[in-house]
């Protein structure tokens, strides 16, 4: 699908044909032996056919044997797992809440650093395929991650990817899998790391994140972005992004999966609910639970850190979610869980929705509504709630009892039907959102008094 010019955006100085795409996913799902550079490139090109304005080349890691030997002398010693690579997904629903999540267990997340001596050829081959076949206006983003807090491990890779002609470099210091690795807590607390992709263990440390970013920015001549972690909350994320901006980063991507624990099996003495897995480790969480935290990140960065662009992904499951996050200040919106659950048709449907939305709402381009919602974000102590109260329509009340079966002191029952004591109502609206028959509304107080 070819988006119209109204969907064009300029992101970190690079013109892209649309603001929508698929978040970076390290590898296609499947046995590593089955994933060739050619097959991986074809998967990414299908994103482009669906309308993506950018694609990621994941795992852009490169180092020499000399650098590896030097860093071994400086790094924290660690035994690396001999287990073959494996992955398991689990979906958990909360009935009646409309909330779903995907848990992803990936083993091992601690490959030996020697892997970086032999994987770059695959990255190079995939990049060359994409450079030949990508249409104009599709940005090419190289994703890479440092080993430990050693800037050298991304500096060398960044230079190589710049030579291959990518448009942007995105440094990933956000991985939600890593806190589940043996020894991760000690690495984080002691700030001493092995030659391991440490993700959030560095990404949530403002000093270390700034240090690695600064060295990568100095080494290359193309824009550098940094992928943030869910674990860096608000307002801490504001301080982090200010430091990344001042270190030379042109954008941030917020954010990655969140580390968590899957719920235990309460009917099996707390054992793991993972199919064919003998434990319950810390794993990565994705899904709609991430979206409120994403909006917090995007709005906080937009409002308090001028001068840096934002790409947003995390719990975006509908076309409307993409528009919402852009109105909070993101220039790019990235699908991950939505694509896994619904396929690339979500991307195509979102492009079509965006085309119609721009026309119907009278915008000349998508860039006109980026950040439009920030004008309404103000300190909570300055917000005027309006003097309203609840009002019950007795013809709609089905006597469910929900509005009087908790902590509200303003709702009463008369003949089984709900009734509001206006003098005791503060207009919180809880009864409105919980009433199953939509019999309650909020109205100005003067209409009922």
In angstroms, rounded to a whole number, what is the distance separating the alpha carbons of residues 177 and 272?
A: 17
CB 395 within 8 A of CB 417: no
In angstroms, rounded to a whole number, what is the distance separating the alpha carbons of residues 278 and 275?
A: 9
pTM for this prediction: 0.95
Is the preceding peptide bond at 172 cis, omega within 30 degrees of 0?
Answer: no
In angstroms, rounded to a whole number, what is the distance separating the alpha carbons of residues 110 and 147?
A: 11
Tens of each residue's pLDDT in the chain, 449 residues: 899 999 999 999 999 999 999 999 888 888 888 999 999 999 999 999 999 999 999 999 999 999 999 999 999 999 887 777 789 999 988 777 766 789 999 887 778 899 899 999 999 999 999 999 999 999 999 999 999 999 999 999 999 999 999 999 999 999 999 999 999 999 999 999 999 999 999 999 999 999 999 999 999 999 999 999 999 999 999 999 999 999 999 999 999 999 999 999 999 999 999 999 999 999 999 999 999 999 999 999 999 999 999 999 999 999 999 999 999 999 999 999 899 989 999 999 999 999 999 999 999 999 999 999 999 999 999 999 999 999 999 999 999 999 999 899 999 999 999 999 999 999 999 999 999 999 999 999 998 86
**Residue of 316, 384, 320, 386 lying closest to 352 (CA atoms):** 320
* Structure tokens given for 38: 């050619």
**Residue of 111, 92, 171 lying closest to 337 (CA atoms):** 92
| CB neighbour class for 54 (10 Å; exposed up to 12, middle 13-18, buried from 19) | buried
**Residue of 206, 214, 112, 223 lying closest to 166 (CA atoms):** 223
DSSP class of 224: E
**Residue of 219, 245, 77, 56 lying closest to 148 (CA atoms):** 77
Backbone angles phi, psi at 330, to 5 degrees: -75, 140
Query: Residue 442: what pLDDT?
Result: 97
Q: Domains in the chain, please, with CATH? A: 5-376 (3.20.20.70), 384-447 (3.30.70.20)
Query: Residue 98: what pLDDT?
Result: 67
Query: Residue 449: what pLDDT?
Result: 63
Rounded to a whole number of angstroms, the CA Rg of the chain reads 25
Q: Which residues contact 182 (CB under 8 A, 6 or more apart)?
A: 110
CB 166 within 8 A of CB 127: yes
SS3 350: helix
CB 96 within 8 A of CB 266: no
DSSP class of 22: E
Query: Residue 69: what pLDDT?
Result: 97
């Amino acid at each position: 699908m070819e988006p119209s010019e109204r969907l064009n955006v300029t992101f970190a100085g690079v013109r892209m044909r649309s603001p929508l795409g698929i978040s970076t996913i390290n590898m296609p799902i499947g046995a590593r032996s089955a994933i060739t550079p050619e097959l991986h490139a074809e998967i990414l090109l299908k994103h482009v056919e669906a309308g993506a304005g950018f694609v990621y080349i994941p795992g852009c890691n490169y180092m020499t044997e000399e650098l590896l030997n030097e860093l071994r002398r400086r790094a924290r010693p660690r035994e690396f797992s001999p287990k073959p690579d494996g992955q398991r997904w689990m979906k958990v629903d909360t009935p009646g809440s409309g909330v779903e999540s995907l848990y992803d267990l990936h083993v091992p997340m601690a490959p030996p650093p020697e892997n970086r001596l032999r994987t770059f050829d695959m990255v190079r081959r995939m990049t060359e395929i994409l450079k030949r076949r990508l249409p104009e206006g599709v940005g090419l983003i190289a994703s890479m991650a440092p080993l430990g807090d050693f800037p050298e491990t991304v500096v060398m890779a960044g230079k190589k990817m710049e030579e291959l002609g990518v448009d942007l470099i995105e440094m990933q210091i956000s991985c939600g899998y890593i806190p589940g690795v043996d020894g991760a807590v000690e690495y984080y607390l002691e700030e001493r790391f092995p030659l391991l992709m440490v993700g959030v263990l560095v990404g949530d440390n403002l000093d270390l994140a700034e240090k690695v970013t600064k060295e990568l920015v100095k080494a290359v001549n193309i824009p550098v972005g940094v992928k943030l972690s869910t674990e860096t909350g608000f307002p801490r994320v504001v301080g982090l992004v200010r430091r990344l901006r001042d270190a030379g980063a042109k954008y941030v991507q917020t954010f990655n999966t969140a580390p968590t624990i899957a719920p235990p099996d309460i009917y099996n003495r707390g054992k793991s609910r993972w199919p064919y897995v003998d434990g319950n480790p810390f794993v990565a969480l994705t899904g709609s639970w991430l979206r409120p935290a994403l909006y917090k990140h995007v709005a906080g960065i937009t409002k308090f850190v001028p001068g840096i662009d934002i790409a947003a992904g995390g719990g975006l499951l509908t076309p409307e979610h993409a528009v919402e996050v852009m109105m909070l200040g993101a220039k790019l919106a990235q699908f991950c869980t939505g694509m896994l659950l619904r396929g690339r048709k979500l991307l195509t449907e979102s492009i079509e929705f965006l085309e119609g939305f721009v026309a119907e709402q009278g915008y000349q381009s998508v860039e006109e509504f980026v950040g439009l919602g920030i004008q309404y974000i103000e300190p909570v102590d300055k917000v005027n709630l309006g003097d309203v109260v609840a009002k019950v329509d007795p013809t709609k009340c089905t006597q469910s009892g929900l509005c009087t079966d908790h902590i509200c002191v303003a709702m009463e029952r008369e003949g089984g039907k709900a009734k509001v004591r206006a003098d005791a109502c503060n207009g919180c609206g809880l009864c409105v959102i919980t009433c199953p028959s939509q019999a309650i509304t909020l109205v100005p107080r003067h209409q009922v008094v």
